[in-house]
Amino acid sequence: SSEVLEAIENVIQDVLKSLAQKKAPVLTLANRSDWRNIEFKDSVGLQMIPHCTTKQIRSDCPRSAPKFALMLKILSMIYKMVQSNTYATKRDIYYSDTLLFGSQSVVDNIISDISCMLKIPRRSLHILSTTKGFVAGNLSYTEEDGTKVNCTCGATAVTVPSNVQGIKNLISHAEFMLIVEKDATFQRLLDDDFCNKLSPCIMITGRGIPDLNTRLLVRKLWDTFQIPIFTLMDADPHGVEIMCIYKYGSVSMSFEAHHLTVPSIKWLGLLPSDLQRLNIREDVLIPFTKQDQKKLASIQKRPYIACQPMWKKELEIMAASKLKAEIQVLTSLSSDYLSRVYLPNKLQFGGWL
């Protein structure tokens, strides 16, 4: 915490120095949404280069002055929380003054900018992300406040903890982990008692694009147990994008890649080649939209696709067919095809990339 306080004090001292010299204060931070500032490393994923281009939030420019003021406001809130050892969610911060902040996304963006500027992970700033992910299966742990949590597969899942760093005494006999893109598929596998039927496993869903806590938990489980991790996504550009976030990280959070990515993650399904292999009827597939085509073209150009020849091939199949499929498409074969046939066969015979 002293490191955080010192980092904030340094920023404020620079502001005061500028004012003393009758100069307009500026805040300087790395340009975290620019692909030119990102390098791809097999072992880490997407990470920020050491000497990257920066942008300035100026206090004397009408366009950036409001953001300058909001950054100072949130810095002062963080300072108080670290001093008093209290925590707040991003939502709490927004609701502390909705008129001032205007929208939740403004707050989210500023918090990521501050984390990047101070080079301090968001958790150390005493800001908790709102968690939307679920975890189930062969796993138990103790939360920071001493609460014991058992995720062993019942029909209900456990919410991903809001302070992943604080959990300890992790125990599991799982043989693998399965990251499921969507809540509906995750719940279906829970109902089918998938975690116990095949072999003990841990299932996680970020319910779409994963929040920070879900990504932190996947990384923590990987660090702790070193078991294979598979992903089960829709066979569409959006599903591929989500899988890449777990595996290689995202551009906007590349400054924190070391805590968030798991480059050993494998693509289990739903593969575009599976649709041909299983003779899925074309009338249950969904035609691409213009947006799908754009998204797929952008993914195909990314640096990590070049080192994944098998992925590249799958994306080419998808691009050529201009058709996408949700995981639920497997119910056109039989209602429990996913848990009874598809996943057991894939896991037994190594049908992943």
Q: Active-site residue numbers?
A: 95
| Count of C-beta atoms within a 10 Å radius of residue 339 | 20
**Rounded Cα distance, 15 and 120, in Å:** 20
Token pair 């494998």 in the structure block, residue: 266
**Rounded Cα distance, 120 and 115, in Å:** 5
| Count of C-beta atoms within a 10 Å radius of residue 294 | 12
Q: Is 307 exposed, middle or buried (0-12, 13-18, 19+ CB in 10 A)?
A: exposed
Secondary structure class of 19 (helix, strand, coil): helix
**Rounded Cα distance, 34 and 185, in Å:** 34
Instruction: Give the chain's radius of gyration (CA, Å).
Output: 22
- If you ran DSSP here, which 8-state letter would residue 64 be given? T
As given in the structure block, the two tokens for residue 299 are 């993914």
**Rounded Cα distance, 13 and 17, in Å:** 6
* CB distance 104 to 92 below 8 Å: no
Any residues with CB less than 8 A from the CB of 20 and at least 6 apart, and which? Answer: none
